[in-house]
Copies of this chain bind each other. A is one copy, B any other.
């Protein structure tokens, strides 16, 4: 974690947002900073509360977004946003002197982060001991970030893709792009999202204009319902069980529909949304180091 560059980026974001020129070095502000030499401190619970105040209808009675490690009363030394709190991300968090990881996805290899079945597993035990030894809190931030308006993941992904101008205000998840052959669209998306390989059900020459973007793994029913509604030329999804959406698209194409599916991979289809958490959160937690550590995509392709 590099605090200084992060602070610079925060200042840039703030001044840009306020539509003003640089004002941070004015005498008044310098004086104000001296008046509170100890930066305000926050507990994990206070950070969670500050975030949850921005989410409609939060806290949710039922959600997977619980603390997976640590506790609400511990003082936060620094925050890390990431897709997965992998062992590597935890090690980097410790090295950076931070102790609060906000992760979009599960910590313990199942959606609900149940751990009873893992209690004798060496990988689980090592990870849990590492978290405990270094006092690292991990909060899953999945349901809430998707429930933010606009959806935090969606916003970060649109920004990474540079597709804000193509949003179809009438249809959720739909973008209207200039007509582009599928293989060109794939090249653009791979470059912008730093993806090495995608899986495709479709025709690489097909012209694509109406794009349905479904980051993550929404599940077959949700993906198919969104396809029925949006009638896109191409669906870009993060992940799909092979017996669900990919087979639906294969059958739709055999029926004569002009539609293709591109499976981007789960992590890179959402990562920019967790990177976007940092500039969004910084103004709400002055002086607290906040950074994004990419967990990256674990796959290579042979």
Instruction: Name A's B-contacting residues (CB within 8 A).
Output: 84, 86-88, 91, 105-106, 109-111, 117-118, 120-123, 126-127, 183, 186-187, 190, 197-201, 204, 217, 220-221, 224-225, 228, 239, 241-252, 254-255, 257, 262-263, 265-267, 298-302
Contact = CB atoms under 8 A, between A and B. Distances in A.
Contacts of A186: 302
Nearest to A104: B243
16 contacts: A84-B247, A87-B255, A88-B250, A109-B220, A109-B245, A118-B224, A122-B228, A126-B251, A126-B255, A127-B255, A198-B301, A200-B302, A204-B302, A217-B242, A243-B266, A250-B298
B220 A86 contact: no
Contacts of A201: 298-300
Given A109-B243, A110-B221, A242-B266, A127 B301 contact: no
B197 A123 contact: no
B251 A86 contact: yes
B267 A242 contact: yes
B197 A301 contact: yes
Contact of A127 (B87, B246, B251, B300): B251
Contacts of A267: 242
A216 B205 CA distance: 31
Contacts of A243: 84, 105-106, 109-111, 217, 266
Contacts of A245: 109
Given A197-B301, A199-B299, A262-B302, 11 more contacts: A84-B243, A86-B254, A105-B243, A120-B228, A122-B252, A123-B251, A123-B252, A200-B302, A217-B241, A241-B241, A263-B299
Contacts of A224: 109, 118, 121
A301 B200 contact: yes
A295 to B, nearest CB: 9
A133 to B, nearest CB: 14
